[in-house]
Chain A
């Protein structure tokens, strides 16, 4: 059974640009959650999508957005990149909710220069 797939693995972008990251959950999983991981802040919750709807949202500015497609694949977008957006972005899939546990992808390492 295929795991959670995140693409791309690495990205280098310039300040002010925008970026789109992709996450394909485990087949049959309907919930996708996104986290940002930095050395100083640890793992911080961005948002969760379920059945193409944003179900929960963390405390990030509106520059961070996402969506989910009918096949449960999810994308997150960051506009007007800042140096502080450099981080490992992790996607987690679960069957329905966190009650079912999370399975994480390998992450996308974003570097903003």
Chain B
């Protein structure tokens, strides 16, 4: 059974800091992993989708890496801004082509 955990549960940092969010999953036989952000009361916005053949993906100030063998992914946010404040969730498929299983999220607050 695929289970996903995220550490830390919450994080508060001053503006401008670089930070790392962690995601762990129990079944390493995954085909991809997706990172999302969610603003309070809103839907999920896709940030990065990493296929298992890739080691990392980058979009602007965001960089996500995937290490299947250790069952981990990290999301790196460079030069954080108050607008980055949100909950960040990672998701991996239950099995190939099946539904995503989500972690509980990391709630990020970036203070001006």
Contact = CB atoms under 8 A, between A and B. Distances in A.
Interface of A: 4, 6, 33, 35, 42-43, 45, 48, 56, 58, 88, 90, 92, 96-99, 101-107, 109
B99 interface: yes
Contacts, number: 60
Interface of A is mostly: strand
A105 B46 CA distance: 11
B64 interface: no
B70 interface: no
B32 A43 contact: no
Given A43-B89, A48-B99, A98-B98, A109 B32 contact: no
Interface residues of B, number: 25
Contact of A99 (B42, B96, B105): B96
Contacts of A48: 99
A76 to B, nearest CB: 14
Nearest to B101: A45
Contacts of A43: 89, 102
B105 A101 contact: no
B110 interface: no
B45 interface: yes
Contact of B97 (A42, A98, A103): A98
B33 to A, nearest CB: 10
Nearest to B104: A42
B41 interface: yes
24 contacts: A4-B43, A6-B43, A42-B102, A42-B103, A42-B104, A42-B105, A56-B98, A88-B41, A90-B44, A92-B100, A96-B97, A97-B96, A98-B93, A98-B97, A98-B99, A99-B31, A99-B97, A101-B46, A101-B49, A102-B34, A102-B91, A103-B46, A104-B36, A104-B45
B43 A101 contact: no
B1 to A, nearest CB: 12
